[in-house]
Amino acid sequence: MEIIVLLLFSLFVYAATSKLMDYKVFLVQMNDQPFDDKFSILLVWGLPALQYLIAGLLIFRRTLLAGLYGSLALMLIFTVYITLIKLNFFNHIPCSCGGVIKQFTWTEHLYFNLFFIIISLAGIVFHKWLRRNVKPTFEKIQLS
Mean pLDDT score across all residues of the chain: 85
Q: What is the pLDDT of residues 33-82, one digit of tens each?
A: 777 778 788 888 999 999 999 999 999 999 999 999 999 999 999 999 88
- Residue 3 to residue 111: CA distance in whole angstroms: 19
pLDDT digits (tens, 9 = 90+) for 9-27: 999 999 999 888 888 888 8
Please state the rounded mean pLDDT for residues 89-94.
72
Q: Tell me the C-alpha distance between 115 and 117, whole Å.
A: 5
Q: What is the arithmetic mean of pLDDT over 84-99?
A: 73
* pTM exceeds cut of 0.75: yes
pLDDT at 138 over 60: no
Half-sphere exposure of 143 (CA within 13 A, CB side): 0
